[in-house]
């Protein structure tokens, strides 16, 4: 164990996770608007859904799992930097995001909300989609962690 154990680094990891939640929700919103526009091919329908239904769905359905995943990845990165001499890299954050994304979206969320064909829970329960989204959230969290941690840019490993 490193001699300079610091709770500050753990809190920086959690803060990086919360920042990543915002980035992940923005990314999910943009992808959702593009998917709706491609599927409907109507401007009015796309605008109506993108300003009413989609933001509410993201806030009520995706916000809590995003906070759990990104905060857990940030906590993992913060604890990990206390036990090593180097800050974890983008790959470590992405792998942690993949693991926690799969656990939350593919295992826990279907247990809490029963998936119906075509609804959000059945879509995000797809292992490939939840894994990809977890990878992106983990990479965002890792990047924000390095940005917020002053020693993060000096000490680097993959």
The C-alpha angle with vertex 59 and arms to 55 and 60, in degrees rounded to 5, equals: 120
DSSP 83-110: HSSSB--HHHHHHHHHHHHIIIIIIIHH
Mean pLDDT for the chain?
88
Prediction pTM value: 0.86
Q: How confident is the model at residue 2 (pLDDT cuts 50, 70, 90)?
A: very low
Q: Which two tokens stand for residue 140?
A: 């965002």
CA separation for the pair 146, 46 (Å, rounded): 37
Q: Give mean pLDDT, residues 92-117.
A: 92
Q: Does residue 22 contact residue 86 with C-beta atoms inside 8 Å?
A: no
Q: Give mean pLDDT, residues 81-107.
A: 87
Q: Does residue 21 register a pLDDT over 60?
A: yes
| Segments making up each domain of the chain, as ranges | 13-148
């Amino acid at each position: 164990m490193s001699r300079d154990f610091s709770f500050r680094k753990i809190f920086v990891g959690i803060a990086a996770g919360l920042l990543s939640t915002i980035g992940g929700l923005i990314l999910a919103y943009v992808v959702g608007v593009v998917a709706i526009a491609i599927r409907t091919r109507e401007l009015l329908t796309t605008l109506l859904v993108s300003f009413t239904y989609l933001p509410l769905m993201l806030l009520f359905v995706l916000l809590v799992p995003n906070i759990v995943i990104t905060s857990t990845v940030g906590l993992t990165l913060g604890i990990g930097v206390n036990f090593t001499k180097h800050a974890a890299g983008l790959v470590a954050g992405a792998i942690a995001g993949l693991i926690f994304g799969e656990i939350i979206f593919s295992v826990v969320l279907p247990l809490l909300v029963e998936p119906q064909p075509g609804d959000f829970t059945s879509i995000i329960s797809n292992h490939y989609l939840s894994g990809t989204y977890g990878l992106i959230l983990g990479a965002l969290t890792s990047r924000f962690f390095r940005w917020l941690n002053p020693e993060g840019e000096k000490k680097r490993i993959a």
